[in-house]
């Protein structure tokens, strides 16, 4: 529902394309796409689309063309002399840690996590009874029947408060087409009932552990358009042991007798906390972070006639709870609800409401500061919040005891608190902590002193702390005088003589911050080059909502102009030169990359564009497109068209331009940016460029969007392909094809 979020519009497409593999042999050159012009008139502006026919991914000609492109790209990359050694090195780095840990949840003092052990392909769900306890395997998706045909992944999960059951969602091939199951922890087997059409994450349990609230999509008829995929979603109440098909609807469009009117375009969810007798219902309009929010006693929620209390009945009430993800970041503990509001504070303030009193009013518990608040969380004995400074989030706490004052907790080294896991049943807290110079760690919090320390959830690996890297933080003047943060991570002792190879990246959408991170596989780039630079362009959230507003809809050009300014800075200051500058991004960052390479094709030596949102004039026809109108604009209005046309890379490819070499990624099962969008962009670039440099289309037929739910092998191959392509085009002698 945000950050280009949707579900797979064509489940099973991967199998169709694999069956058609025999129809397309590897070509000596990538096949040219047929041109079939279609001209649209947008409010007096005529726009010609030469590849509209590609939007039908079931068209046999489209399947043959895309498969031939994929085969050609695979052959080109695999033939690079240094490729096998690079892939092996990345695999060794990626496999060096005893386990890679994500998705930590603490429930009733138990620590649940998704872990990829050494030698495994996908995250498995484990639980330990305490932070230092031994892990017990609960769910292994690699052993789900059919995993050998299209890999299964645990997309999300939620343990019951008593630990007896775990509700979890699995999806195949990166499709995000979720199927909900319930594990009986005691027997190790699933309960008989299951439900498909699960798009918005794992359910939220009632305190008794016998029932939960879940959101489910509507049944799609064969003649429905792609845009119907995410319409008319509803929240249901499920009691363990009965069929999902008889569950009563609690909230959603057209629910009989409902006190809350819900539009067909809104996303509903009911949220609970283990230590509260209340539930919170919220509605999201899509990519907008604002929410409509209601509350009710848990015991009163049985059907659609619940008497909900309005906390924020309008999106203009500025209840900000999404934190750029599917999960709410507001806090509920006991009778108190905490949330982040920007209604009277553009950088955010934290409000509190006593749900036990019908006449209570919101009160400010954390006032606005100099830096923006990015998220709030509630624990049993404290609330926590993150404060964003150019993408690096510090962590703050307010203990829920008389006389307590807000306090900033001291981080062990410079970095970013990316997430906070709390427990309504105990005082346990785990902070996901990232850095530009160290692998991720989880920090525990001493409930009395607030002291932070690595709690050992993420086991250490041999390449976690490189000692040969340094970080430069600078501000770069953009085209309009705005100072843009730029982070430059480089080998120690580099010379600013223009000889260094630079990987430059950014994102700039949805108010999402490009925050510090390091994983051992990144060392494979540093080993061949010297620098990775991160541009904190407008459209992101690095400097608050005003920074976001500076790069969306009509202001979107600031996003790629900031990127160009920072690229030019790296050249002007001697970090690199255009012949040594490689740029990449993905998803909505494809707007940034596509428009930057079009405005300054002379500035970049190579470009990788992964699952790019490249055709913004047609994006609204996709399952996910309408929900992104708040971020990008509405093509059905004059102002919306003007903004979307300006930001659409596909619409601005010009014939006869010497474009740099480009590698475009597509996932055949991508539910957010359907594969025809990157395919159209690649076809148009291939037809237009006169540089003689390659424009390659890489297609993964068992993958979705930007590596979500990817296997370890897929992730390693994704990284190797990007680095090998860059080194090939930047002239590294180990990556030049044999003549």
Cα 209 to Cα 145, 161, 274, 473: the distances in Å are 28, 6, 10, 48
- Alpha-carbon gap, residue 607 to 601, rounded angstroms: 10
Asked if residues 679 and 615 have their Cβ atoms less than 8 Å apart, the reply is no
- Alpha-carbon gap, residue 676 to 500, rounded angstroms: 36
What does 63-119 look like in DSSP terms, one character per residue? HHHHHHHHHHHHHHHHTSTTHHHHHHHHHHHHT-SSEEEEEEEEETTEEEEEEEETT
pLDDT exceeds 80 at position 151 = yes
What does 256-316 look like in DSSP terms, one character per residue? TT-SS---TT-EEEEEE-TT-SEEEEEEE-SS--EEEEEEEEGGG-SSTT--PEEEE-SGG
> Each residue of 595-610: pLDDT tens digit?
999 999 999 999 999 9
Domain boundaries, the chain: 13-93+464-735
pLDDT exceeds 50 at position 2 = no
| Stretch (H or E) spanning 528 | helix 523-528
- Alpha-carbon gap, residue 617 to 102, rounded angstroms: 36
What's the whole-number mean pLDDT along residues 35-64?
Answer: 97
Cα 418 to Cα 55, 175, 376, 547: the distances in Å are 37, 25, 12, 19
pLDDT exceeds 90 at position 330 = no
Tell which residue, 616, 592, 452, has the closest CA to residue 514: 592
Sign of CA dihedral 631, 635, 637, 639: positive
pLDDT exceeds 60 at position 11 = no
What's the whole-number mean pLDDT along residues 560-581?
Answer: 98
**β partners of residue 469:** 491
Q: What are the backbone angles phi and psi of residue 722, rounded to the nearest 5°?
A: -65, -50
- Alpha-carbon gap, residue 309 to 358, rounded angstroms: 9
Residues whose CB is less than 8 angstroms from the CB of residue 357 and which lie 6 or more positions away in sequence, other chains included: none
- Alpha-carbon gap, residue 322 to 1, rounded angstroms: 10
> Each residue of 338-380: pLDDT tens digit?
999 999 999 999 999 999 999 999 999 999 999 999 999 999 9
> Strand 441-445 to strand 469-477: parallel, antiparallel, or no bridges (unpaired)?
unpaired
Cα 552 to Cα 94, 541, 558, 651: the distances in Å are 36, 12, 9, 18
> Each residue of 401-451: pLDDT tens digit?
999 999 999 999 999 999 999 998 889 999 999 999 999 999 999 999 999
Tell which residue, 292, 284, 228, has the closest CA to residue 259: 292
pLDDT of residue 323: 59
Q: What are the backbone angles phi and psi of residue 208, rounded to the nearest 5°?
A: -75, -10
Asked if residues 36 and 680 have their Cβ atoms less than 8 Å apart, the reply is no
Assigned CATH for 13-93+464-735: 3.40.50.1820
Tell which residue, 555, 642, 631, has the closest CA to residue 588: 631
The 10 Å Cβ neighbour count of residue 122 is 21
pLDDT of residue 22: 32
Residues whose CB is less than 8 angstroms from the CB of residue 260 and which lie 6 or more positions away in sequence, other chains included: 251, 281, 283, 294, 308
- Alpha-carbon gap, residue 660 to 603, rounded angstroms: 9
pLDDT band at residue 4 using 50, 70 and 90 as cut-offs: very low
Helix H, strand E, coil C: the string for 433-487 is EECCCCCCEEEEECCCCCCEEECCCCCCCCCCCCCCEEEEEEEEECCCCCEEEEE
Token pair 């600013």: residue: 496
Q: Give me the numbers of helices (H) and strands (E) for the chain, helices first please.
A: 11, 40
> Strand 382-389 to strand 392-399: parallel, antiparallel, or no bridges (unpaired)?
antiparallel
Asked if residues 502 and 531 have their Cβ atoms less than 8 Å apart, the reply is yes
pLDDT of residue 23: 32
Give the three-state DSSP class for 167. strand
> Each residue of 522-569: pLDDT tens digit?
999 999 888 999 999 999 999 999 999 999 999 999 999 999 999 999
Tell which residue, 352, 361, 426, 344, has the closest CA to residue 385: 352
* 484: its two tokens: 């843009």
pLDDT of residue 17: 28
- Alpha-carbon gap, residue 480 to 482, rounded angstroms: 6
What mean pLDDT, rounded, does the chain reach? 93
Helix H, strand E, coil C: the string for 33-59 is CCCCCEEEEECCEEEEECCHHHHCCCC
* 682: its two tokens: 């690649």
Asked if residues 153 and 144 have their Cβ atoms less than 8 Å apart, the reply is no
Task: Tell me the HSE value of 264 on the side-chain side, using a 13 A CA sphere.
Answer: 8
pLDDT exceeds 80 at position 147 = no
Asked if residues 403 and 420 have their Cβ atoms less than 8 Å apart, the reply is no
pLDDT of residue 28: 67
pLDDT band at residue 277 using 50, 70 and 90 as cut-offs: very high
pLDDT of residue 5: 34
CB-count burial class (<10 Å; 0-12, 13-18, 19+) for 313: middle
């Amino acid at each position: 529902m945000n950050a280009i979020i949707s579900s797979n519009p064509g489940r099973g497409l991967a199998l169709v394309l694999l069956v058609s593999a025999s129809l397309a042999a590897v070509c000596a050159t990538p096949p040219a796409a047929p041109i079939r012009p279609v001209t649209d008139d947008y409010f007096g502006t005529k726009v010609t689309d030469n590849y509209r026919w590609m939007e039908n991914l079931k068209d046999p000609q489209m399947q043959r063309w895309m498969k031939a492109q994929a085969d050609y790209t695979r052959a080109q990359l695999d033939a690079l002399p240094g490729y096998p050694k690079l892939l092996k090195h990345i695999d060794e780095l990626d496999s060096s840690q005893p386990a890679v840990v994500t998705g930590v949840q603490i429930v009733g003092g138990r620590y649940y996590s998704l872990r990829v052990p050494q030698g495994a392909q996908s995250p498995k769900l484990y639980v330990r009874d305490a932070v230092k306890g031994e892990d017990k395997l609960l769910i292994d998706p690699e052993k789900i029947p059919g995993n050998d045909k299209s890999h299964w992944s645990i997309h999300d999960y939620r343990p019951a408060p008593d630990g007896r059951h775990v509700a979890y969602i699995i999806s195949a091939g990166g499709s995000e087409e979720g199927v909900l199951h319930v594990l009986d922890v005691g027997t190790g087997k699933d309960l008989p009932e299951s439900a498909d059409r699960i798009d918005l994450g794992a359910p939220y349990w009632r305190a008794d552990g016998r029932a939960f609230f879940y959101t489910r999509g509507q049944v799609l008829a064969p003649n429905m358009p792609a845009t119907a995929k995410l319409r008319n979603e509803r929240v249901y109440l499920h009691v363990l042991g009965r069929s999902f098909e008889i569950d009563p609807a609690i909230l959603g469009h057209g629910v009989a007798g409902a006190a809350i009117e819900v539009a067909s375009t809104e996303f509903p969810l009911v949220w609970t906390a283990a230590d509260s007798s209340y539930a919170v219902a919220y509605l999201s309009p899509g990519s907008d972070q604002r929410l409509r929010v209601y509350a009710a006693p848990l015991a009163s929620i049985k059907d659609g006639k619940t008497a909900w209390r309005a906390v924020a009945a309008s999106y203009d009430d500025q209840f900000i709870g999404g934190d750029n993800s599917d999960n709410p970041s507001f806090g509920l503990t006991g009778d108190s609800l905490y949330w982040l509001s920007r209604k009277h504070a553009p950088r955010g303030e934290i409000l509190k409401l006593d749900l036990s009193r019908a006449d209570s009013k919101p009160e400010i518990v954390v006032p606005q500061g100099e830096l923006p608040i990015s998220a709030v969380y509630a624990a049993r004995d404290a609330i926590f919040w993150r404060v964003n400074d150019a993408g690096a989030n510090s962590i703050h706490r307010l203990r829920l005891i008389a006389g307590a004052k807000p306090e900033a907790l001291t981080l062990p080294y410079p970095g970013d608190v990316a997430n906070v896991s709390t427990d309504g049943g105990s005082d346990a807290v785990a902070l996901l902590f990232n850095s530009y110079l160290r692998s991720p760690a989880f920090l525990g919090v001493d409930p009395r002193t607030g002291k932070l320390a690595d709690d050992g959830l993420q086991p250490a690996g041999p390449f976690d702390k490189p000692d040969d890297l340094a970080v430069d933080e600078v501000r770069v003047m953009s085209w309009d005088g705005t100072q843009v943060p730029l982070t430059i991570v480089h080998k120690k002792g580099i010379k600013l003589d223009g000889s260094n190879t630079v990987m430059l990246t950014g994102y700039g959408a949805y108010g999402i911050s490009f925050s510090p991170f390091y994983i051992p596989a990144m060392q494979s780039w540093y080993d061949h080059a010297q620098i990775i630079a991160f541009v904190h362009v407008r459209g992101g959230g690095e400097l608050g909502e005003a920074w976001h507003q500076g790069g969306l809809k009509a202001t979107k050009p600031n996003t790629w102009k900031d990127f160009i300014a920072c690229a030019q800075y790296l050249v002007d200051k001697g970090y690199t030169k255009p012949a040594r500058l490689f740029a990449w991004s993905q998803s909505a960052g494809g707007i940034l990359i596509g428009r930057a390479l079009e405005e300054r094709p002379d500035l970049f030596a190579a470009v990788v564009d992964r699952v790019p949102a490249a055709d913004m004039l047609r994006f609204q026809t996709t399952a996910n497109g309408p929900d992104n109108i708040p971020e990008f604009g509405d093509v059905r209005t004059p102002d919306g068209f003007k903004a979307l046309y300006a930001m659409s890379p596909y619409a601005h490819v010009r014939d006869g331009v010497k474009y740099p070499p480009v590698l475009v990624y597509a996932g055949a099962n991508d539910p957010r940016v359907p594969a025809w969008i990157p395919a159209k962009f690649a076809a148009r670039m291939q037809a237009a460029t006169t540089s003689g440099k390659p424009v390659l289309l890489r297609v993964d037929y068992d993958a979705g969007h930007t590596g979500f739910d990817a296997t370890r092998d897929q992730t390693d191959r994704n990284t190797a392909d990007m680095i090998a392509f860059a080194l090939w085009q930047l002239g590294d002698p180990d990556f030049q094809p044999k003549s």
